[in-house]
Homo-oligomer: A and B are copies of this chain.
Amino acid sequence: MEKYSAIRQSAYACNMQLPHLGLVLFTFGNASVADHAEGVFAIKPSGVAYADLTPEKMVVVDFDGSVVAGDLRPSSDTKTHAVLYKHWPAIGGIVHTHSTYATAWAQSQRDIPIYGTTHADHLTADIPCAPPMADGQIAGNYEYETGFQIINHFEQQQLDYREVEMILVGNHAPFTWGATGEKAVYNSAVLEYVAKMAALTEQINPRAPRLKDSLIKKHYERKHGPDSYYGQS
Protein backbone atom coordinates (compact mmCIF):
# COMPACT_ATOMS: atom_id res chain seq x y z
CA MET A 1 0.00 0.00 0.00
CA GLU A 2 1.43 3.34 -1.08
CA LYS A 3 2.03 5.67 1.87
CA TYR A 4 -0.20 8.49 0.66
CA SER A 5 -2.92 6.41 -0.97
CA ALA A 6 -5.60 7.33 1.59
CA ILE A 7 -5.34 11.11 1.09
CA ARG A 8 -4.85 10.69 -2.66
CA GLN A 9 -8.00 8.60 -2.92
CA SER A 10 -9.91 11.07 -0.78
CA ALA A 11 -8.64 14.14 -2.67
CA TYR A 12 -9.53 12.44 -5.95
CA ALA A 13 -13.08 11.72 -4.75
CA CYS A 14 -13.50 15.30 -3.52
CA ASN A 15 -12.26 16.81 -6.78
CA MET A 16 -14.61 14.60 -8.80
CA GLN A 17 -17.56 15.91 -6.75
CA LEU A 18 -16.98 19.48 -7.93
CA PRO A 19 -18.16 19.12 -11.56
CA HIS A 20 -20.89 16.73 -10.39
CA LEU A 21 -22.26 19.46 -8.10
CA GLY A 22 -22.09 22.07 -10.89
CA LEU A 23 -19.41 24.09 -9.09
CA VAL A 24 -16.71 24.18 -11.77
CA LEU A 25 -16.30 24.84 -15.51
CA PHE A 26 -13.33 23.08 -17.10
CA THR A 27 -10.52 23.16 -14.50
CA PHE A 28 -11.71 26.20 -12.50
CA GLY A 29 -11.35 24.64 -9.06
CA ASN A 30 -9.42 22.27 -6.85
CA ALA A 31 -9.80 20.22 -3.69
CA SER A 32 -7.18 18.94 -1.28
CA VAL A 33 -7.10 16.56 1.69
CA ALA A 34 -4.49 16.70 4.46
CA ASP A 35 -2.71 14.22 6.71
CA HIS A 36 -1.64 16.37 9.66
CA ALA A 37 0.37 13.57 11.26
CA GLU A 38 2.56 13.40 8.16
CA GLY A 39 2.44 17.16 7.57
CA VAL A 40 1.28 16.76 3.94
CA PHE A 41 -1.77 17.11 1.74
CA ALA A 42 -2.86 15.68 -1.62
CA ILE A 43 -4.11 18.17 -4.21
CA LYS A 44 -5.31 18.25 -7.82
CA PRO A 45 -2.61 18.63 -10.47
CA SER A 46 -2.69 21.97 -12.29
CA GLY A 47 -4.74 22.38 -15.46
CA VAL A 48 -5.71 18.71 -15.80
CA ALA A 49 -9.32 18.08 -16.88
CA TYR A 50 -11.52 16.36 -14.29
CA ALA A 51 -12.27 13.56 -16.75
CA ASP A 52 -8.55 12.73 -16.89
CA LEU A 53 -7.95 12.61 -13.13
CA THR A 54 -7.04 9.45 -11.23
CA PRO A 55 -6.11 9.03 -7.55
CA GLU A 56 -2.49 8.46 -8.60
CA LYS A 57 -2.33 11.84 -10.32
CA MET A 58 -2.98 13.71 -7.07
CA VAL A 59 0.16 15.58 -6.03
CA VAL A 60 1.40 15.28 -2.44
CA VAL A 61 2.79 18.51 -0.99
CA ASP A 62 4.09 19.56 2.44
CA PHE A 63 2.74 22.50 4.46
CA ASP A 64 5.37 24.81 2.97
CA GLY A 65 4.12 24.00 -0.52
CA SER A 66 6.99 21.75 -1.65
CA VAL A 67 6.12 18.66 -3.66
CA VAL A 68 6.73 15.43 -1.75
CA ALA A 69 5.33 12.88 -4.21
CA GLY A 70 3.76 12.92 -7.65
CA ASP A 71 4.84 13.39 -11.26
CA LEU A 72 2.69 16.41 -12.08
CA ARG A 73 2.84 20.06 -11.10
CA PRO A 74 0.31 20.79 -8.32
CA SER A 75 -2.54 23.31 -8.61
CA SER A 76 -1.39 26.90 -8.95
CA ASP A 77 -3.34 27.60 -5.74
CA THR A 78 -1.28 25.07 -3.76
CA LYS A 79 0.49 27.61 -1.55
CA THR A 80 -2.82 29.04 -0.38
CA HIS A 81 -3.87 25.56 0.75
CA ALA A 82 -0.48 25.04 2.44
CA VAL A 83 -0.73 28.23 4.48
CA LEU A 84 -4.20 27.34 5.70
CA TYR A 85 -3.24 23.79 6.73
CA LYS A 86 -0.12 25.06 8.50
CA HIS A 87 -1.95 27.65 10.59
CA TRP A 88 -5.31 25.98 11.08
CA PRO A 89 -4.57 22.49 12.47
CA ALA A 90 -8.21 21.42 12.77
CA ILE A 91 -8.95 21.42 9.05
CA GLY A 92 -8.58 18.26 7.00
CA GLY A 93 -9.81 19.45 3.60
CA ILE A 94 -9.94 22.61 1.48
CA VAL A 95 -11.92 23.42 -1.67
CA HIS A 96 -11.46 26.33 -4.05
CA THR A 97 -13.93 26.99 -6.88
CA HIS A 98 -15.09 29.85 -9.09
CA SER A 99 -18.74 28.85 -8.61
CA THR A 100 -21.04 31.38 -10.24
CA TYR A 101 -22.94 33.13 -7.45
CA ALA A 102 -20.25 32.92 -4.76
CA THR A 103 -17.74 34.39 -7.22
CA ALA A 104 -20.16 37.17 -8.18
CA TRP A 105 -20.37 38.16 -4.49
CA ALA A 106 -16.56 38.06 -4.28
CA GLN A 107 -16.37 40.30 -7.35
CA SER A 108 -18.91 42.60 -5.68
CA GLN A 109 -16.59 42.81 -2.64
CA ARG A 110 -19.49 42.30 -0.26
CA ASP A 111 -20.06 39.97 2.67
CA ILE A 112 -23.11 37.75 2.08
CA PRO A 113 -25.72 38.87 4.65
CA ILE A 114 -27.38 36.17 6.72
CA TYR A 115 -30.94 36.34 5.38
CA GLY A 116 -32.41 33.02 6.44
CA THR A 117 -32.25 29.75 8.27
CA THR A 118 -30.53 27.91 5.39
CA HIS A 119 -27.55 30.14 6.10
CA ALA A 120 -27.96 29.92 9.90
CA ASP A 121 -28.00 26.12 9.79
CA HIS A 122 -24.35 26.36 8.77
CA LEU A 123 -22.88 29.53 10.28
CA THR A 124 -24.04 32.38 12.48
CA ALA A 125 -22.12 35.19 10.78
CA ASP A 126 -22.37 36.91 7.42
CA ILE A 127 -20.10 35.02 4.99
CA PRO A 128 -16.97 37.17 5.07
CA CYS A 129 -15.37 38.75 2.01
CA ALA A 130 -11.69 39.57 2.45
CA PRO A 131 -10.59 42.75 0.65
CA PRO A 132 -8.30 42.48 -2.38
CA MET A 133 -4.65 42.36 -1.39
CA ALA A 134 -2.23 45.26 -1.39
CA ASP A 135 -0.16 45.65 -4.55
CA GLY A 136 3.02 44.57 -2.77
CA GLN A 137 1.45 41.27 -1.71
CA ILE A 138 0.22 40.63 -5.24
CA ALA A 139 3.54 41.29 -6.91
CA GLY A 140 5.29 39.05 -4.38
CA ASN A 141 4.46 35.46 -3.45
CA TYR A 142 0.85 35.80 -4.53
CA GLU A 143 -0.75 32.48 -3.57
CA TYR A 144 1.18 32.40 -0.30
CA GLU A 145 -0.10 35.89 0.50
CA THR A 146 -3.64 34.84 -0.42
CA GLY A 147 -3.47 32.35 2.44
CA PHE A 148 -2.37 35.06 4.86
CA GLN A 149 -5.02 37.43 3.56
CA ILE A 150 -7.61 34.85 4.58
CA ILE A 151 -6.06 34.20 8.00
CA ASN A 152 -5.57 37.91 8.73
CA HIS A 153 -9.14 38.72 7.78
CA PHE A 154 -10.41 36.08 10.19
CA GLU A 155 -8.27 37.55 12.97
CA GLN A 156 -9.37 41.12 12.27
CA GLN A 157 -13.02 40.12 12.17
CA GLN A 158 -12.59 37.88 15.23
CA LEU A 159 -13.95 34.87 13.39
CA ASP A 160 -13.17 31.29 14.37
CA TYR A 161 -12.23 29.08 11.40
CA ARG A 162 -13.85 26.10 13.14
CA GLU A 163 -17.21 27.88 13.15
CA VAL A 164 -17.03 29.82 9.87
CA GLU A 165 -15.73 27.37 7.28
CA MET A 166 -15.82 29.60 4.19
CA ILE A 167 -14.61 32.92 2.84
CA LEU A 168 -14.80 34.98 -0.33
CA VAL A 169 -11.53 36.52 -1.48
CA GLY A 170 -12.44 39.92 -2.93
CA ASN A 171 -12.31 40.11 -6.74
CA HIS A 172 -11.30 36.48 -6.79
CA ALA A 173 -13.47 33.57 -5.62
CA PRO A 174 -14.44 31.40 -2.63
CA PHE A 175 -12.43 29.04 -0.44
CA THR A 176 -14.13 26.57 1.90
CA TRP A 177 -12.74 24.05 4.35
CA GLY A 178 -13.75 21.56 7.02
CA ALA A 179 -12.64 18.71 9.26
CA THR A 180 -12.62 16.45 6.18
CA GLY A 181 -12.37 16.91 2.43
CA GLU A 182 -15.97 15.77 2.18
CA LYS A 183 -17.07 18.52 4.57
CA ALA A 184 -15.14 21.13 2.55
CA VAL A 185 -16.93 19.99 -0.63
CA TYR A 186 -20.26 20.11 1.20
CA ASN A 187 -19.54 23.66 2.38
CA SER A 188 -18.64 24.69 -1.15
CA ALA A 189 -22.06 23.62 -2.44
CA VAL A 190 -23.85 25.17 0.53
CA LEU A 191 -22.03 28.47 -0.04
CA GLU A 192 -23.09 28.58 -3.72
CA TYR A 193 -26.69 27.78 -2.75
CA VAL A 194 -26.80 30.45 -0.02
CA ALA A 195 -25.08 32.98 -2.31
CA LYS A 196 -27.74 32.48 -5.00
CA MET A 197 -30.64 32.82 -2.57
CA ALA A 198 -29.13 35.97 -1.01
CA ALA A 199 -28.82 37.62 -4.44
CA LEU A 200 -32.45 36.70 -5.23
CA THR A 201 -33.59 37.95 -1.82
CA GLU A 202 -32.10 41.40 -2.46
CA GLN A 203 -33.67 41.45 -5.93
CA ILE A 204 -37.12 40.65 -4.51
CA ASN A 205 -36.81 42.97 -1.52
CA PRO A 206 -33.92 45.46 -1.53
CA ARG A 207 -34.74 46.26 2.10
CA ALA A 208 -34.85 42.66 3.32
CA PRO A 209 -33.69 42.55 6.97
CA ARG A 210 -30.96 40.27 8.26
CA LEU A 211 -32.12 37.23 10.22
CA LYS A 212 -32.83 38.10 13.84
CA ASP A 213 -30.42 36.93 16.51
CA SER A 214 -32.79 34.53 18.24
CA LEU A 215 -33.32 32.60 14.98
CA ILE A 216 -29.62 32.58 14.14
CA LYS A 217 -28.87 31.07 17.51
CA LYS A 218 -31.68 28.51 17.37
CA HIS A 219 -30.89 27.12 13.95
CA TYR A 220 -27.20 26.90 14.54
CA GLU A 221 -27.62 25.10 17.85
CA ARG A 222 -30.13 22.72 16.32
CA LYS A 223 -27.31 21.40 14.15
CA HIS A 224 -24.16 22.25 16.10
CA GLY A 225 -24.92 22.95 19.76
CA PRO A 226 -24.36 20.57 22.71
CA ASP A 227 -28.05 19.59 22.56
CA SER A 228 -28.17 19.33 18.77
CA TYR A 229 -31.01 17.22 17.45
CA TYR A 230 -30.24 17.18 13.72
CA GLY A 231 -28.97 14.03 12.06
CA GLN A 232 -28.42 10.55 13.52
CA SER A 233 -25.35 11.06 15.73
Taking beta carbons and an 8 Å cutoff, which residues of A are in contact with B?
25-26, 28, 45-48, 72-73, 76, 98, 100-101, 103-110, 115-118, 132-133, 135, 138-139, 142, 171-173, 186, 189-190, 193, 196-205, 208-209, 211-212, 214-215, 218, 222, 229-232
24 contacts between A and B (CB under 8 A): A26-B189, A46-B229, A46-B230, A47-B230, A73-B231, A73-B232, A76-B229, A100-B196, A100-B197, A103-B116, A103-B118, A104-B204, A107-B198, A109-B205, A116-B173, A118-B173, A133-B215, A138-B218, A139-B214, A142-B218, A171-B212, A171-B215, A199-B203, A202-B204
Whether A208 pairs with B107 at a CB distance below 8 angstroms is yes
Whether B232 pairs with A118 at a CB distance below 8 angstroms is no
B-chain residues with CB within 8 Å of residue A209 when the two chains form the complex: 109
Whether B172 pairs with A117 at a CB distance below 8 angstroms is yes
Partner of A76, one of B173, B190, B201, B230: B230
**Chain copies in the assembled complex:** 4
By beta carbon, the residue of chain B nearest A101 is B200
Report the minimal beta-carbon distance from A193 to chain B, rounded to whole angstroms: 5
By beta carbon, the residue of chain B nearest A78 is B229
Whether B199 pairs with A200 at a CB distance below 8 angstroms is yes
Report the minimal beta-carbon distance from A34 to chain B, rounded to whole angstroms: 22
